[in-house]
Amino acid sequence: MSEDLDDVIARYATEPFDDGTPIAEAGLVSISVFRVITDVVTDPGVEIDAGRLADARTVGDLKAWLRDILAGQATGDAA
């Protein structure tokens, strides 16, 4: 992915954020999180671990989850 994850998240966040900001406090609601995911995950065959996504509490957690998916996408493994 050529675009920085912060830039993708900023496109949908309605409040300033850093890695420690709770997702909701960044103004990210379920549809905006979905949009971030669809912007980042370009391979339709990648399996999404919704349980792990549900455990994400902060923007940093979301970014770590997205990085894992990107790593799986690059290697062909499910994340």
The pLDDT tens digits of the residues spanning 22-57 come to: 999 999 999 999 999 999 988 888 888 889 899 999
Question: CB within 8 A of 29, min separation 6: which ones?
Answer: none
User: Of 23, 16, 10, which is closest to residue 54 (Cα–Cα)?
Assistant: 23
- Check residue 76 and report its DSSP letter: T
Residue 79: pLDDT over 80? no
- What one-character-per-residue DSSP string does 16-44 give? ---TTSBTGGGT--HHHHHHHHHHH---T
Chain-wide mean pLDDT for the chain? 89
Please tell me the total number of residues recorded for the chain in this structure.
Answer: 79
Domain boundaries 5-75, corresponding CATH code: 1.10.1200
Structural domain spans, the chain: 5-75
